Amino acid sequence: MPKFLTNNNYLRKQCDTLIFVNQMKYKLDRSAHSVYSLHYHLVVVIKYRRKALYDEVIRERLKQIIWSLTDELGIEILIQEPAEDHLHILFTATPTTNLSNVVNVIKGVTARRLRQEFPKTKEFLWGDSFWSNSYFLSSTGQVSLDVLMQYVESQMEKV
């Protein structure tokens, strides 16, 4: 049996989605040929940082619209929180998820529906724009980058 399978710091159960490596707990997803844990932080901003999401009703509707897109996009929303001029979404995805498509669909569908359902938002913006052309997308982990770097660096010590 390989050394890493007999190590007490490594525990894997076929039926569970948790793996413990040196006391770090990972929630894993599985597909036919892969095991993964992919988390992303997305931030999109209203064009010109205008406060078009000025009302709680609009912000709640925005969240509902995004929730309705999750199956189509193949993502799972962990948390999302809109402010008056921007939106944060923390989500998980699969290795085959087209992230730029996720962002474009979220921005396109939400802009169109919010403009239709809340015509007053047009007063805050001009033209056909709702979201800024840019966005911020970062991969995240279930542990901090510092902890992960220490873990990777310590692997040579175990050989």
Distance, in Å, from the CA atom of 85 to the CA atom of 143, rounded to the nearest integer, reads: 29
Residues 60 and 136 in one domain: yes
Within-domain flag for 153:
no
Domain limits for position 24: 1-30
Q: If 0-12 CB within 10 Å is exposed, 13-18 middle and 19+ buried, where does residue 70 land?
A: middle
Q: pLDDT, tens digit, for every residue of 121-144?
A: 988 888 888 999 999 999 987 667
In this prediction the pTM is: 0.77
> Helix, strand, or coil here: 12?
strand
39: which strand partners? 92, 140
State whether 50 and 69 are in the same domain.
yes
The residues annotated as belonging to the active site are 151
In a domain, 152, yes or no: no
Q: Are residues 72 and 14 in the same domain?
A: no
Are 127 and 69 part of one and the same domain?
yes
2 and 56 housed in the same domain? no
Q: Say yes or no to pLDDT of 21 above 70.
A: no
For the ranges 3-7, 34-38, 90-94, the lowest mean pLDDT is seen at: 3-7
Q: Is residue 5 located within the same domain as residue 44?
A: no
Q: Write out pLDDT tens, residues 44-79.
A: 999 999 999 999 999 999 999 999 999 999 999 989
